[in-house]
Structures are given as C-alpha cells and as structure tokens.
Structure 1
Amino acid sequence: MQWVTRVYDQKTTVQHGEIPWIPYVIETKAGFKLRGLRTQSHAGSSRPVLHFIHGNSYSGLTYLPLLMALHPHADLVLHDAQGHGDSDHGGPFIGWNNSALIVREAWYHLRAHYPGQQPVGVGHSFGGVLTSLAASQDPQLFDRLLLLDPIVFSPRMIQVLSPLRWFGVYKLNPIARKARRRRMEWPSLAAVIESLQGRGMFRGWTDAALLAYAEHATEPMRGGGRRLKCAPEREAEIFSSYAEGLWPALQTLETPTQVWVGEHTYPFVHTSMNYWQRNPAVRGVAVVPGGHCFMQEHPVMTAEQLIQEIGAP
C-alpha cells in the first residue's frame, strides 16, 4: 500500500528558537494528515540535511535546544508522527512498520528541496526505530543514520512478548499502563513546568528543554490552560506494540549508522545495541552521560557530537 498521496508546504513561515521554519503537510490515504517543519534549504552547499523524528509522546520542537545548536551547521526537517505534535490523531495507531513507510515515502518528496545536500536520518527512541526501519526498506534513503537511544527490544524480549501480544495481554505492560494514567491537562504553561520539573522522564532536563516540551508538546485549550498534544492513549498504543520483523530489518540494514545511548537508559537498550553491532553497518555505539533523554539533559554536547560525526561545517 502506498500511504502518502501528497506533500506540500504551507505559505506562512513560523519562528521558533530564532529559526525560521517552513510548515509542511503530508496527506495520507488513510485520511489523516501529518504536519512537520523544515528549514530553508542551502542547495548545493556542504551543509547536510538532517531528517529528525521524535520519541513517543513528544514532537520535533520538543528538542528545540538541540535543534538550535544543530542549525548553524545543518538544514533540518522535523517529522511529527501520527498523533504527535500538530499531526492528526488519525484513529487507531497504524503501527511502527506503516509509520516507517510514511517516513520513507514522504522523505522522497521533501528531500527534493535539498538538492546536492547529504541526507542524514536522525531519530530519538521511537523515532530512532522508525528511521532505522525506513532505511532498511530503502538503502538509498539516507547516506547516514545518527540514532539517539533507539528503543530497540532485544531478540529475547521479542520472543517473550510475541505470545503476550497474540493473547492481547502485552497492552497491559507497566509502561503502557503508566502512559494511560498520564496527566493530560494543566491550568497554565507555568503549571506544566512546575508539575514536571525533576520528575520521572524529565529528571535532569535543562530548563530550556523543559520549556520546549511545555510549549510544543502541549497546546492551549479554548477555556484556558494547556493539554497534551499526544493523547495518553496514543502513547500507550505505541508502548503496547513493537515493529514486526524488527531484527531481520536491523540485521540487513546497509546504511552506515552511529548510535548514542545514555549511560542510565533502559538496560535492554544496552543489550540490544551490543547485539546490533554484529551488523558491520553499525559503526559504533557510544555511551554518554545521562538517561534515555540525554539529548534533553545535554543538548549542546549532543549537537557537537552529531556535527563531529558527520563532519558538518
């Protein structure tokens, strides 16, 4: 099935983090629209173009401090998945594999804006897996992959989880249950920050990163206050599933790949990355300070490492 029917820019540019962005829309055969942002191209220059996909429940602009540090060296394209950021909720989650197909199809439209520039796939967590799946489907999609703590289950975990999902039990896993209970509304932007600062997955985030989350992963309500853009049920749907054929795809990936994982991330991520290094396309796995969201704890350091890896000017 071909998912993407049309990709087009919107007329008005927007400013976030002192970066001018061009909003774009991806129309799908399923009827929902995805929305993203891209920077103006520097066609023919030595600047790479980084295609970035966020983690589950976030949005591209949630990583604004990281993006601001990258922008002097690279053009940026932000892809917000189904039910994230300003993209439509779009009914039930279409799954990891179909989401990756949309990434692949849409990128062929979008990369035409950046002729002669090196295309690099970048993704965090859920976005790292989608980027890897899309690249495994098409080795010509990206020249390089830079993955930030991709949430890859080990082969052993998938063996255990498969029958649980078949019986409909896996959706009751603790991470999905916690997502369904996530608070969705706050009386103000300040209340979002106050309630999340130093807690759970936000522990260690810089003030600027937490502000970016509050501003871009939530939206204003008509009667005042803020609510999450990504519904807790969508976050739980993603945590209740995983990509089909994940390890065959990862083992046959041909695109040169560099991975960074947080020192204090989920233990299974370290196990999976050690296993994945059997694929010669995985050039290295670097362990860096921080947790699963280390790039929100150390955005400038992370940007410097990405820039150094791709040799951006």
Structure 2
Amino acid sequence: MQLLPWRHATREGFTLRGWHTPPSGKPLLHFLHGNGFCGRMYEPMLRQLSNDFDLWLCDVQGHGDSDHGGRFLGWNRNAALAMEALDAQGAAFAGVPHYAAGHSFGGVLTALILGEQRQRFVRAVLLDPVIFTPAMIMGMSVGELTGVTRHTPLARQARARRKHWPSREEAFTLLHSRGVYKGWADDALQAFVTHALQDSADGRVELKCRPSREADIFSSAPDRLWGLLGKVRTPTMVLYAEKTFPFVTESVARWRAMNDAVQALQVPGGHCFMQEQPDMAAQHVRAFLLPD
C-alpha cells in the first residue's frame, strides 16, 4: 500500500500532517485515530480497505507526525481542523464520494463532524468511540473548572506511561501482550512500533504523542456532544467491543435510541479490536460502507 505525505498549516500556527494513497478514482475513506495513537498504526486493517477505497489519514494535534501545537485546542476544534486540512490539501479527491471512519477518540471526532457537517460523508463507521454519557460530560465540565479532571484514572495512567525504549525491537518485545496492547496481532503491534514511535536524540526511541497530550485529552470532553449526536443524519454504524468501557455501551444504546440514522453492532475483542483482528474489522467496515 503506497502512502504519500501531506501537510497543512493551521491558523493556530502549527502544522498538521498525515498520509493518503495516490488518487485512483475510488471512493475516499477519511480515518481518524485514537488518543495517543496515529493513523498509520492501523495499517493492517487499512491495507485491506485500500482495495475498495483511497485513504486519507490525519494525525491530530500532538499525535503521529503532526506538531504538538502547544495548548490542546479541544475535541471540537481538532475535528474542525481535520476537515480544514482535507479541504485545503485533498483537492485531488474532490470528485469522489467521501466516507468516514474513526477509532476511540477519533471516532468521537468523526461523530462531531457528522453532526456539524451533515452532507460531508456518505456513510460512516465508528470503532468503539469513547462517547461520554451526559452525566460524565456534566461531571467533567465541573471538574475542568476545578482541575479535578487532571487526576482522573485515565489521565494519571497516561502521564505515568513509559515513553522511551532502547530500540523498536525492545519496545515490541516489552509491549507484546501487555496492557492496552494485549491480544494485538503481531503486524498491528509492529505498525505501532514503526509509526507511533520516533528516534530520540539520545539514540533511543520514544512515543511521538507525549503522555501529557494523551492526558490532556483524557482530562477534557467535547462541547455540545449530545446535541451534535442528535443532529447526525449520515448513516452511521457503531462497532463497539465486547470488552469495552461500560460507559461506551451505555452511550451507544442511548444514541441509537434517539437517532434512527445510527446502527450498532457488538464485535468480539477489546477497545482496540481492530488491532486484535484487523481482518474482521475491515470486513465489518467495508460491509457497512459499501453494502451490496
């Protein structure tokens, strides 16, 4: 699978970067990654989808090859920036149908886009999107004012995350079957080690996404989330994992009940099921986006 780099200078003064396949006339699939990750680490799944789609991968602020960009601009602005980058740099794909997919944090950003720009995509698939319940949103709004959200378990865990390894080979060995990477297919973990790590000045390798940026995201929430979820009119499939966070299951059921544009399907595996079973994930994504 050939991927070409793109870059987009934002009005906030930093550069977003990502990758796309050479324009071929196929429909375009816009993909957004999860928190702490990057677009190319999903290559085992995306490679299969490239048979039917051209791909557009966007690394959001502070992730992958994009600049850190200083203060985290929030979920909604990052969703808008992804679309600004596509509009500015994706002219070669303007004449084909556009589809969307996203995982976790990227799934929520995709949902925000669907609510704001109802005609942007033909169909969308969200992979275990971390949609916070209304009660969580309210609690986090209060917590952001008091600083309490900086100390949530996920934020503390992110800040404590190991970020350096002697080499990519050792990183692969130490991460294999541990923590969030437990159960990942070897080629998916290799894609993470190859694309989500970078060489550091001291000869080691380090995470491209700073743990502090991952914590920024875990310490915040989208604005107007449920109002925008109610406005989605794009046919959308939510693939949620059997072993996901309890709030995801609750939120998906709530969203589906309030919006008939949304369907949901539970699939085997954990929050990163598409890294555990790339073939299965690609089949589900393709089946919904391009129904017979």
What TM-score, normalized to structure 2?
0.96
SS in 1 for 2:249: helix
Query: What letter corresponds to residue 41 of structure 1 in structure 2?
Result: P
Once the two structures are superposed, residues 39-88 of structure 1 have per-residue CA deviations (whole angstroms, 9 ceiling, x without a partner) of 11122xxx321000000000001101011111111110000000101100
Give the distance between the partners of 1:130 and 1:74, measured in 2 at CA: 21
| Structure 2 residue 254 is the aligned partner of structure 1 residue 280 | no
Query: What letter corresponds to residue 184 of structure 1 in structure 2?
Result: K
Q: What is aligned with 1:133?
A: 112
SS in 1 for 2:170: helix
Runs of at least 5 residues in structure 2 that lack an aligned partner in the other structure: none
CA contact (8 A) 1:125 1:151 kept: yes
Q: What is aligned with 1:143?
A: 122
| Structure 2 residue 17 is the aligned partner of structure 1 residue 38 | no
CA RMSD of aligned residues (A): 1.4
Query: What letter corresponds to residue 201 of structure 1 in structure 2?
Result: V
SS in 1 for 2:2: strand
Runs of at least 5 residues in structure 1 that lack an aligned partner in the other structure: 1-18
Give the distance between the partners of 1:90 and 1:162, measured in 2 at CA: 23
Tell me how far 1:109 sits from its aligned partner. 3.0
Once the two structures are superposed, residues 190-249 of structure 1 have per-residue CA deviations (whole angstroms, 9 ceiling, x without a partner) of 111111111111111001111111111101123322100000000000100010111111
Q: How does 1:182-197 map to 2 (within 5 A)?
A: 182-197=161-176
| Structure 2 residue 53 is the aligned partner of structure 1 residue 74 | yes
Query: What letter corresponds to residue 224 of structure 1 in structure 2?
Result: G
| Structure 2 residue 136 is the aligned partner of structure 1 residue 157 | yes
CA contact (8 A) 1:173 1:240 kept: yes
Give the distance between the partners of 2:130 and 2:154, measured in 1 at CA: 13
Q: What is aligned with 2:242?
A: 263
Tell me how far 1:111 sits from its aligned partner. 4.3
Higher helix share: 2
What TM-score, normalized to structure 1?
0.90
| Structure 2 residue 4 is the aligned partner of structure 1 residue 22 | yes
Structure 1 residue runs of 4+, over 3 Å off? Answer: 279-283
| Structure 2 residue 281 is the aligned partner of structure 1 residue 302 | yes
The number of residue pairs the alignment matches comes to 292
Once the two structures are superposed, residues 95-151 of structure 1 have per-residue CA deviations (whole angstroms, 9 ceiling, x without a partner) of 111111112222223443124422011100000111111221111211111110011
- Is the alpha carbon distance of 1:220 and 1:231 closer, same or farther for their aligned partners in structure 2, counting shifts above 3 Å? same
Give the distance between the partners of 1:48 and 1:243, measured in 2 at CA: 29
Q: 2:27 aligns with which of 43, 48, 53?
A: 48
CA contact (8 A) 2:236 2:263 kept: yes
Give the distance between the partners of 1:107 and 1:281, measured in 2 at CA: 28
SS in 2 for 1:127: helix
